[in-house]
């Protein structure tokens, strides 16, 4: 009986430092971020490539349609996102959204072999604010299934 008591007490003594250590390291260091951020997609009003419109997608989901002189906004969950536009070539913009932040993405068109190549690039608030008076808000327009006539 005495020996058993001694071994139990020894076990407690030997385990105590590990218990203390695990309590120190169990802090929620990798807690996942929650919430959403705002992304503003915009395209400058230009004559060159003005007739070309393109959709911005994430995977198969259509987020909006950019024509010359337009913009739309989306709310994106925090985390990594890949936004694509494509015609004869595909362009992918990877972004990391953090809760409560606003990001700006400028759409453009560069020349290609057969058709204009749409492009998405990171931009900033100052650039968007400078163009905004000439841009049309098309948030939620031009996406989804086509209507049958």
Partner 1 sequence: MLARLTILLVLASPYCLAQTEVAESAPLITVPALTPVLVRVGVEISSNKNKPGETFPIFIAKDVRVGDVVVIPAGSEGEGEVVHAAKSGMGGKAGELILAARFVRVGDHTVRLRSFGVSGAGADHGDDSLALAIVAGPLGLFVHGGVRYFPRDGVAGAKTAEEVQLPAREASPPPPAAAPVDTTKQGREGDETKTS
Which element (helix H / strand E) includes 99? none
Using the structure block, give the residue that is written with the tokens 């006539």. 149
Minimum CB distance to partner 1, residue 113 (Å): 7
Indicate the pairing of strand 90-97 with strand 79-86.
antiparallel
Binding partner 1 (rule: CB under 8 A), the pick from 50, 51, 77, 112 is 112
Stretch that binds partner 1, among 8-16, 51-59, 68-76, 131-139 (CB under 8 A): 8-16
Q: Annotate 85-103 with b (16+ C-beta within 10 A) or e (fewer).
A: beeeeebebebebeeeeeb
Residues at the interface with partner 1 (CB under 8 A): 2, 5-6, 9-10, 12-13, 16-17, 20, 29, 31, 33, 48, 80, 91, 93-96, 98, 101, 103-104, 106, 108-113, 117, 119, 121-125
């Amino acid at each position: 009986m005495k020996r058993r008591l001694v071994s139990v007490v020894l076990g407690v003594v030997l385990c105590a430092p590990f218990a203390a250590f695990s309590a120190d390291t169990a802090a929620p260091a990798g807690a996942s971020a929650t919430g959403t951020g705002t992304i503003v997609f915009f395209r400058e009003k230009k004559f060159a490539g003005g007739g070309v419109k393109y959709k911005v997608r994430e995977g198969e989901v259509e987020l909006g349609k950019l024509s010359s002189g337009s913009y739309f906004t989306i709310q994106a969950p925090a985390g990594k996102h890949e936004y694509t536009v494509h015609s004869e070539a595909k362009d992918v913009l990877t972004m990391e959204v953090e809760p409560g932040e606003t990001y700006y993405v400028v759409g453009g068109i560069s020349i290609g072999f057969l058709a204009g190549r749409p492009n998405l690039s990171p931009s900033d608030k100052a650039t968007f604010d400078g163009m905004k008076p000439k841009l049309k808000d098309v948030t939620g327009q031009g996406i989804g299934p086509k209507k049958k006539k």
